[in-house]
Structure 1
């Protein structure tokens, strides 16, 4: 079967049938998830886990202690995550915002309107759409769909959206089609990440992919 007009709900059911529920995002607290969302930029989750383990060892999975830590020291602690000086700065910017704007109260912060909060996060230096949406969905349990490189790759290679589509077009594509529920957004994104990690890499590995049956007859779509 190959159908460029396959619905995203069909895609979801296919992935869920193949993989089962993912119970994602990995993190023991909203703060840990927020930290992970910043540290995972341009690196693998294994490297993030090492950096978070270092933070735990130093007792820094605490907003006040994290806020009081010098950037140079923080950078060394999160070194395994790569680009560690830049990420220390971005993490410090995020923590500073939470402490200054919300007095370090994440529950209060996440009680605000999701679109208002999203604009706030995007105004913080180093926080882009994917990081902001990951924080909102996974740490705040708020309704926003996360788009990442895997999402873009899977949709574009199957011809479900044009190659020129940007983050917001990809996000709108999902929001307009799938059930508008936090749990559904969470599960769908997690299934996409699993599929992308195993099959839809930079060099595609289509054999065995649960979505291979939906490729156009002409095969993987490439940018013109």
Structure 2
């Protein structure tokens, strides 16, 4: 049995309901969190966020030295590298006067190119910021999406942009749909499509090819 991307979304939504992502209180917390979660899990990133929470204001983060920031975010791993990335991101954000609404006025592709020019900001991190903070409709490709799509039986492009384009060309989605789609895939990967899959009770079991890595 085959399934479309839209049907996949519908099944996940019917099973898990709205996710109300991203799990952050402010846009800056979301963007810093997107950097901290690189190469680690959300639990470790959250510990680092709690440490830096009193400084989660642009001017406060700017006032910290890179070394001071690195020590605060130590639980996230690669903390020296991530501290430099956060500082580089702040330099870019400052060109917009730390104003999210001003950033939103820019074209999606222009913004994506600017974010990708920041040291240490890759496609997944940039796209998460574009979707969850700057309200640009796009599909975020992460390891969870790759795992789920592969196991179901989709033959996706190996490149990030190729994967993203294939999904976006098949779905006429708005910001809300892509927001939910990404969050639902993460939720499904945590509950059922783990590294060792839990197929019992899975809402996709009847359409899954069950290909394993």
Using structure 2 for the length normalisation, give the TM-score. Answer: 0.94
Change in Cα spacing, 1:202 to 1:221, as seen in structure 2 (3 Å) is closer
Following superposition, the deviation at residue 201 of structure 1 comes to: 2.3
How far, CA to CA, are the matches of 2:175 and 2:87 in structure 1?
28
Using structure 1 for the length normalisation, give the TM-score. Answer: 0.90
Q: Is residue 106 from structure 1 mapped to residue 100 from structure 2 by the alignment? A: yes
Following superposition, the deviation at residue 221 of structure 1 comes to: 5.3
1:100-139: CA deviation from partner (whole Å, max 9, x where unpaired): x223223212221111000000011100000000001111
Match runs of 1:188-203 below 5 Å: 188-203=181-196
Following superposition, the deviation at residue 206 of structure 1 comes to: 2.3
Following superposition, the deviation at residue 21 of structure 1 comes to: 0.9
Paired residues of 1:142 and 1:182 also in contact (CA < 8 A): yes
What does residue 119 of structure 1 align with? 113
How far, CA to CA, are the matches of 2:150 and 2:141 in structure 1?
13
Q: Which of the numbers 143, 163, 188 marks the counterpart of 1:149?
A: 143
Following superposition, the deviation at residue 213 of structure 1 comes to: 1.4
How far, CA to CA, are the matches of 1:25 and 1:104 in structure 2?
19
Paired residues of 2:44 and 2:75 also in contact (CA < 8 A): yes
Moved more, 205-214 or 166-175: 205-214
| 3-state secondary structure, aligned to 2:137 | coil
Q: Which runs of 5+ in 1 are unaligned?
A: none
What does residue 59 of structure 2 align with? 64
Task: State the 4+ residue runs in structure 1 displaced beyond 4 angstroms.
Answer: none
Q: Which of the numbers 168, 174, 177 marks the counterpart of 2:167?
A: 174
What does residue 211 of structure 2 align with? 220
Paired residues of 1:29 and 1:139 also in contact (CA < 8 A): no
The size of the alignment, in residue pairs, is: 213
Paired residues of 1:55 and 1:77 also in contact (CA < 8 A): yes
What does residue 11 of structure 1 align with? 8
How far, CA to CA, are the matches of 1:116 and 1:79 in structure 2?
32
Following superposition, the deviation at residue 52 of structure 1 comes to: 1.2
Q: Which of the numbers 71, 75, 88 marks the counterpart of 2:70?
A: 75
Q: Which runs of 5+ in 2 are unaligned?
A: none
Q: Is residue 161 from structure 1 mapped to residue 155 from structure 2 by the alignment? A: yes
What does residue 209 of structure 1 align with? 202
User: CA RMSD for the aligned pairs?
Assistant: 1.4
What does residue 187 of structure 1 align with? 180
